[in-house]
């Protein structure tokens, strides 16, 4: 979900205005995703690298995320969508931790789609956390395999992504789902995230459908 700041700059608006519109763009995408056959949707909401941004921007982002989670939890329950946070949530402000954990608990029974909120997320940090968990478990090194490693990832129990879509024109994955995305198809959209609509999602899904996946074979 890239392009919030450029969207604001192009309109002579403060950065936070771009983030406000970016949050608003999430809701319609989440609502239509199950109808497109999407079983797991992961949204890269806040990366660990985002802490380097100006303090007022980070604080504003936390407020927007906290407010959106509280505002839309009931709707997610009605839609049958379960929430899982992936990332180092414990490093976030206490109020944000509470609202996201509450959303996880209240939506736990949702079976229509799983919604991963990648918050304070880093693909490298996820690999490190999984490795630490393996060491702490006392498993002998020779017994470690891919299946055991994947059980320690934030996304344990979920399938690997088929498609990784990035908006905003940048053509890199920026430390997102490094392990899980090994064989994911990559689609890059020039649309800035605040302008992303149903038609843009359908365009990306259409591009994905035309790909012939070989998984390295």
Catalytic residue annotation: 2, 50
DSSP for 67-89 reads: HHHHHHHHHHHHHTEEEEEES-G
3 touches 192 (CB < 8 A): yes
- Helix 198-209, helix 15-32: angle, nearest 10: 60
Say which residues have a Cβ less than 8 Å from residue 21's Cβ, sequence separation at least 6.
4, 7, 8, 194
What CA–CA distance (Å, rounded) separates 125 from 179?
A: 11
Reported residue count of the chain is 217
What CA–CA distance (Å, rounded) separates 167 from 44?
A: 11
Q: What is the CA radius of gyration of the chain?
A: 18
- Tell me the backbone φ, ψ of residue 67, rounded to 5 degrees: -65, -40
DSSP H or E segment with residue 104: helix 94-106
DSSP H or E segment with residue 105: helix 94-106
């Amino acid at each position: 979900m890239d392009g919030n700041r450029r969207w604001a700059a192009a309109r002579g608006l403060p950065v936070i205005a771009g983030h406000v519109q970016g949050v608003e763009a999430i809701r319609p995408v989440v609502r239509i995703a199950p109808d497109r056959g999407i079983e797991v949707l992961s949204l890269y909401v806040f990366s660990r690298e985002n802490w380097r941004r100006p303090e007022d921007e980070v604080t504003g982002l936390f407020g927007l995320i906290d407010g959106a989670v509280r505002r839309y939890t009931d709707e997610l329950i009605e839609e049958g969508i379960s929430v899982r946070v992936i990332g180092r949530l414990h490093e976030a402000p206490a109020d944000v931790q509470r609202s996201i954990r509450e959303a996880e608990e209240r939506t736990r029974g949702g079976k229509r789609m799983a919604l991963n909120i990648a918050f304070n997320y880093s693909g490298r940090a996820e690999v490190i956390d999984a490795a630490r968990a393996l060491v702490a478990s006392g498993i002998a090194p020779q017994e470690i395999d891919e299946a055991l490693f994947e059980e320690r990832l934030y996304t344990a129990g979920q399938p690997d992504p088929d498609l990784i879509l990035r908006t905003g024109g940048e053509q890199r994955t920026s430390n997102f789902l490094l392990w899980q995305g090994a064989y994911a198809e990559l689609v890059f959209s020039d649309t800035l995230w605040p302008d992303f609509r149903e038609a843009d999602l359908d365009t990306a899904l259409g591009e994905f459908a035309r790909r012939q996946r070989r998984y390295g074979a």
